[in-house]
Structures are given as structure tokens and as C-alpha cells.
Amino acid sequence: MNEVLQYLIADEDGIYVDGTLGDGGHSAAILKKFENSKVIGIDEDADALKIASKNLSLFGNRITLIQGNFADLESLVREEARYNYVDGVLLDIGLRQEVVDDPDRGFSFRHDGPLDMRFNKHSQLTAYIVVNRYPQKRLAEILRRYGDVSQSRYIANRIVFARIKSPIATTNQLTQIIKSLFPSSATKNVLQKVFQAIRIEVNDEFNALESALKQSLEILNPGGKIAVISYHSGEDRIVKKFFATESKDCICPPELPVCRCGHKKSLKIITKKPIIPSADEVKNNRSARSAKLRVAQKI
């Protein structure tokens, strides 16, 4: 939180987008510290918006709440919130603990519930569809790409074999299949990766992040900043690559003697290396242990 306030705020009287509002913690911190600032809070989870609305009600018209996916950042800011430009964009790409702990949402292998995993309950794609209808090859690719699962083909094969007998309808059913394949000492790590991969697929999280980063450039004032907190190596790679690309004038292959791309840099990287949480923060909040904060400023 302290690092976000330190690095994100370019104008104390500015307008900021909290693209992953959650319960409103970051937005509240900005609005409390900078008394003339305004925040546009976006979340696709209706439950999160209800909680945030209560938590942020004391800030009146300084906070604008919008239900939507940050993949549509530009239209949400310009058409829904009616701001053409803003002074900062924050994306904290973590899961709310309340969502993880809710069995009915189906995000965790620790709680038995339906295979769902949708951030937006009105979305069509669910974890049930991914697990029960995806071809084995595609399922294996998702586990490898989004979960860094080393034995993705083997796991996908066993899932497909199991679903032939009967549909895999609950988190516990999927958990038991994974547990039967590995020694108990390795099970937790594999389960975390498998559930993470399926969740990312269900919510199209990587493509949404790429879209949000590109659209951030369109709505930022010169001098405005993008701050992204990621928890997954794949997310961090996307942010790192985007910042690196947009901080260069030329992105042509090195073997070309003359620039042909015409690309012009639009960002200055503020954090040469990602900022990681302090030991005290991890002690107080274990879910922060894998967090990485990267910040860039629009030129």
C-alpha cells in the first residue's frame, strides 16, 4: 500500500483508476491521503462492488464505481465515468480472500463447491466447461501455459479419462483426481497450479491484462503512471515485456540495419526491478509474499 501511494500518485489533485477495486482498500488509501483526488473504481465482481460501495461511501462523489472488466478500460473510463484522461492507473491482479473462501464460487481446492471460478457470475465460460469439455490437448496447454504445470499432459489425460465415467462437477472431485496422481508431499503445489491455470482460462486473465495495459496508454495524461501488482510469473512477464517495449523508440529485430517499425516510446520505466513486499508485510499478510509491483510513467 505505501509503495503504491509513493509511486502511483503524480498529481495530488488528480484522477486515478483502480482497475481492480475489490473491497476498495487502495482507493480508500488514495482518497484519504490526497483530499482533492478522485478515483474511478472498476470491478467485474458485483459482490465486491457492493462491499466497496459501503466502504467508500464517505467519499461521496470523489469515487465513481463501475462494474466491468479492465479489459475494456478505455470505454469504461470515457463512456461510463465520463473522463477523457486520468493521472494514474492501478491494477492489483490478486484474488479477494473472500472469493477464495466462498465454496459456491469454486476457486479453491480447500473448499468443496461447484466448478465455477468466474469473476463475473454472468460470464458463459465456467471451470466445469473447461474441465469437462475441453479437448485433452487444449487442457494440457492451459495447465502448462497458465500454471507452469510440468506434467500437464499426464494430468490432462487423467482428467479426460475420469470425466468419461462421469462429469467432474465439483472442486473436491477434481482435487481427488489430482491427489491420486502424486505423493501427498507434492499434492498441494500441483493443486495450486492446476486451479490457478483453470481460473486464468475461465476469466481470460492474460488477454485482459494485455488489453488493459494498452488502453492505459490511451487514457493517461502525460506524466501519468501505470502501477501493476502481479502475483503470477506469467502476469509479471506480460507487464515487464509491455513496459520494455513501450520504453523503446525502435522494436525492430536487431539484425535490421535501419529502423522500419516507426515505433516511438511512450513510457519511462520507474521501477527498474520489481518492488517486492517487506518482511513485515509478508508477516502480516502471507498472501502478499509473491507480489511484484512495477511502475511506468507516460512520456
98-156 pLDDT, tens digit per residue, is: 899 999 999 999 999 999 999 999 999 999 999 999 999 999 999 999 999 999 999 99
Give the Cα separation of 87 and 271 in Å (integer): 18
Residue 199 is predicted with a pLDDT of 96
Residue 286 is predicted with a pLDDT of 81
Binned at pLDDT 50, 70 and 90, residue 226 comes out as very high
- Is the pLDDT at 97 greater than 90? The verdict is no
The whole-number average pLDDT for the span 191-214 is: 97
CA angle 182, 96, 188 (to 5 degrees): 10
Binned at pLDDT 50, 70 and 90, residue 223 comes out as very high
The whole-number average pLDDT for the span 257-280 is: 92
Residue 160, CA distances (Å) to 25, 42, 55, 177 in order: 41, 37, 44, 11
**Class of the 2-92+205-298 domain?**
alpha beta
For the record, the C-alpha cell of 129 comes out as 466447461
Contact 119, 131 (CB under 8 A): no
Describe the strand order of the beta sheet including 63-67 as a list of residue ranges: 63-67, 38-43, 15-18, 86-92, 220-230, 292-298, 267-269
Contact 234, 147 (CB under 8 A): no
Give CATH 1.10.150.170 domain extents, the chain.
Answer: 106-203
Which residue stretches of 220-264 are H helix? 233-246
Q: What is the pTM (predicted TM-score) of this model?
A: 0.92
Give the Cα separation of 154 and 168 in Å (integer): 17
- Is the pLDDT at 259 greater than 90? The verdict is no
Binned at pLDDT 50, 70 and 90, residue 94 comes out as confident
Give the Cα separation of 151 and 131 in Å (integer): 16
Residue 279, CA distances (Å) to 41, 283, 284 in order: 29, 6, 9
pLDDT digits (tens, 9 = 90+) for 22-73: 999 999 999 999 999 999 999 999 999 999 999 999 999 999 999 999 999 9
Share of the chain above pLDDT 70, in %: 100
CATH for 106-203 (1.10.150.170, 3.30.70.870, 1.10.340.30, 1.10.10.10): 1.10.150.170
Contact 168, 159 (CB under 8 A): yes
Give the Cα separation of 3 and 277 in Å (integer): 9
Give CATH 3.40.50.150 domain extents, the chain.
Answer: 2-92+205-298
Residue for grid cell 509513493: 6
- How far is CA 65 from its chain centroid? 18
* Beta pairing, strands 15-18 & 38-43: parallel
Binned at pLDDT 50, 70 and 90, residue 253 comes out as confident
Binned at pLDDT 50, 70 and 90, residue 160 comes out as very high
Residue 120's SS3 state is coil
- Is the pLDDT at 260 greater than 90? The verdict is no
List Cβ neighbours of 124 (8 Å cut-off, separation of 6 or more): none
- Is the pLDDT at 289 greater than 90? The verdict is no
- Is the pLDDT at 271 greater than 90? The verdict is yes
